[in-house]
Structure 1
Amino acid sequence: MKRASLVPEFTVPSPEKLPERWPGREVELDGLKAYVRDTPATAPGAEPAVYVHGLGGSSTNWTDLAGVLSGRLDGQAIDLPGFGHSAPARSYSLTAMAAHIIRWVEHSDRGPVHLFGNSMGGAAAVVAAALRPDLVRSLTLISPAMPFLDPRRSLQGPIVPLLLLPNAAKLAARRMSSMDPEALAAMVIESCYADPSRYPEQRRLEAIEEARLRHSVPWYAEAYVGSLRGLVSSFLRAYLPGEGSMWRLATKITAPTLVIAGRQDKLVDIRTAPQVARLVPDSRLMMLEGVGHVAQMEVPRTVARAVLGLLDELQAVHQHDTRQVATQVRDGVRQRAPQVRMAS
């Protein structure tokens, strides 16, 4: 593990105004409707990227970061099954979420990709990168929801026992329907941001619109509860013997990895990010003061500086390897050159 390197701040684009949400489209994936927002590159030579949101989020969580990185990355932000505009799934386990990411990369035929994951999406990205290293060029994890067992370290801790109830999804649906969209959006912002006053008004209005969408989707509560159950299950298995442990999977990741977390994260134990970075063989860590659970939304330019630092590092390694191979080929040709002897 090493510290993340940041490119100079002046080299990172600073849009004059917040970008609108990227346009989305429906894609049929294994017979189900999947939804993706394309964040097209603004410069030639851009490399493919896939962005994966967290529990209760959607592809819109990546609007600002993807915009800043569009000079280097040709991005696709996906809605996980049951969230945003994607259809529900038969399973919301973490393994199923990882399988969806893998299938998306295979279906889009753009791999290997620079894979980004936040919260639950980060945990699913860990599984995907461990199982299919051939599809992942680099991995960026932002507040990944990796296992921790102290419920006091998460605002969601008190509701975990309710997951044992067979009608938990109905209870969640009833609770959500009793809240107007503005109050629901405010609750999400309060839990995800270290400083909710940073939340731009444009993004607040978009969050309210997202909350209205959740009211209109009949399977949203089931997807939320099912995904939270899947996360808790992965937490418990992580401390049991066997190959299914999330921590063991982290050690199998071969992609260069950047781990980012906010020290004021209210949803994931902040001790997990350094532990992930210690276990992933080729990792970089950045802990951000005064930042909460969604650093890519709260401080997108700071996150972009670390991502661009990683991309520059990988580019330098590639150029060095290319020069080394060229030198080896040239030296090999010289060694094999025929020796011509002049007649006396």
Structure 2
Amino acid sequence: MPDGPATPTGAERRPARLSTAALTSSGTLPPPWLGEQVAVRGGAVFVRRTPWTGPVDGVAAGAPRERALYVHGLGGASTNWTDLAALLAVRFDGWALDLPGFGRSRPPARTSYSVRGHVAAVVDVLERIVAEPGEGAGRPVHLLGNSLGGLVSLFVAASRPDLVATLTLVSPAMPVYRVPRAFSRTLLLLLLPGIPALAERRLSGVTPEQQVRGMVQMCFGDPRRVPRARLEQALAEMRERAEQPWATQALTRSMRGLISSYLRVGPRNAWRLARSLRLPTLVVWGDRDRLVDPALASRLAAAVPGARLQVLEGVGHVAMLEAAEPVARAVLALAEDAAGPVTADDEARAS
């Protein structure tokens, strides 16, 4: 199939370089970052802000200060990026959004959960970040996405490269033509009229405790690595979400939108768009990913010209949660190399 995940002949896979920058290590887990509602087309989304801290072992004056946006996956929320954003704050002012219908974001005005709708929301937030006054204003933003958020970020980078400085894809939900083992084949029924409403009713009977337990088992390579504090936060967040009448609708219909996007052929197919990218890209995958086949990691890294590849041993679907430090070092190295060597003119402008 021409739009499938074929590996380009002779494509080069570059291993990810890891930055040696000192990272914050307080010994305690940071709480979820504060946020606010931000207007986008068709409504508003909740966006959390992780402020820049500057170098851990250096002088803040003249240090790189760039901007980053984090996009979560299906069933996730902006809090999925809490730990990674804290580490990357040595270089980035960070923003993490709740996609429409997830986290603290209300559903889109027309209750459409298509991939295209999520892409529009991310573009709107990116434009707002680029326009915000302060250091970094007017410059492209480092874009990071996981799972569904990774696919959305790929579409954003392909359609609006002017907004994106670098692209990091953590187990992105690239189109496949075989249902992963972790999924029930009945999910394909979501494409049929009337089935999403039935799925919503069934999911509404699952308790927050059951949802968190299932999420940990499915998304982590080693569930024992999840700190108790993070489990408690996830449970509190799931209970809050259970009170939102649109919660299960957002999940089932976003899944339907994701599967529908897999059927897209021609120039808007995700694999074709991946081959068209011309910006610094990092592909991150856990070799124990049960949701998106780790075999796709090398295929995607080969498809994107010049992409770097980081495969993490023993890690599952949410590497930014399970292995935050190595992911942070790979992302920082990507940003360092994209910025290029510091020249005398750069130092003069910064002083």
Q: TM-score range by the shorter chain?
A: 0.7 to 0.9
Shift of 1:320: 6.7
1:243 to 228, 242, 267: 267
SS in 1 for 2:314: coil
Shift of 1:305: 1.3
Provide the residue aligned with 1:117 in structure 2. 145
CA contact (8 A) 1:148 1:272 kept: no
Q: Which runs of 5+ in 1 are unaligned?
A: 324-344
Which structure has greater helix proportion? 1
Q: 1:31 to 1:158 in 2, by over 3 A?
A: closer
Equivalent residue letter for 1:87: R
CA contact (8 A) 2:220 2:316 kept: yes
Provide the residue aligned with 1:284 in structure 2. 308
Provide the residue aligned with 1:105 in structure 2. 126
Provide the residue aligned with 1:36 in structure 2. 47
Worse-matched range after superposition: 224-233 or 46-55: 224-233
Shift of 1:312: 2.2
* Aligned-partner Cα distance in 2 for 1:79–1:259: 22
* Aligned-partner Cα distance in 2 for 1:159–1:303: 34
List per-residue Cα deviations over 1:251-297 (Å, max 9, x = no partner).
12121000000010011111222221111113100111100000000
| 1:25 is the counterpart of 2:36 | yes
Provide the residue aligned with 2:16 in structure 1. 4
Provide the residue aligned with 2:4 in structure 1. none
Shift of 1:29: 2.2
Output the TM-score relative to the length of structure 2: 0.86
SS in 2 for 1:319: coil
1:143 to 171, 174, 193: 171
1:230 to 257, 262, 283: 257
1:127 to 124, 139, 155: 155
Shift of 1:321: 11
Divergent runs of 4+, >4 A: 320-323
Provide the residue aligned with 1:329 in structure 2. none
Q: 1:154 to 1:120 in 2, by over 3 A?
A: farther
Equivalent residue letter for 2:301: A
Shift of 1:157: 4.3
Percentage of pairs with the same residue: 45
Provide the residue aligned with 1:319 in structure 2. 342
Q: Which runs of 5+ in 2 are unaligned?
A: 1-12, 55-59, 132-136, 347-351
* Aligned-partner Cα distance in 2 for 1:306–1:216: 38
| 1:218 is the counterpart of 2:230 | no
Output the TM-score relative to the length of structure 1: 0.87
| 1:310 is the counterpart of 2:334 | yes
* Aligned-partner Cα distance in 2 for 1:154–1:146: 16
Q: 1:145 to 1:180 in 2, by over 3 A?
A: same
* Aligned-partner Cα distance in 2 for 1:18–1:165: 43
* Aligned-partner Cα distance in 2 for 1:121–1:321: 38
Shift of 1:116: 0.3
CA contact (8 A) 1:170 1:221 kept: no
CA contact (8 A) 1:130 1:250 kept: yes
Q: How many residues of Structure 1 are paired with residues of Structure 2 in the alignment? A: 317
RMSD value over aligned CA atoms?
1.9
Q: 1:274 to 1:150 in 2, by over 3 A?
A: same
List per-residue Cα deviations over 1:211-257 (Å, max 9, x = no partner).
112311111222111211121122222xx3x2121111111212100
CA contact (8 A) 2:200 2:252 kept: no
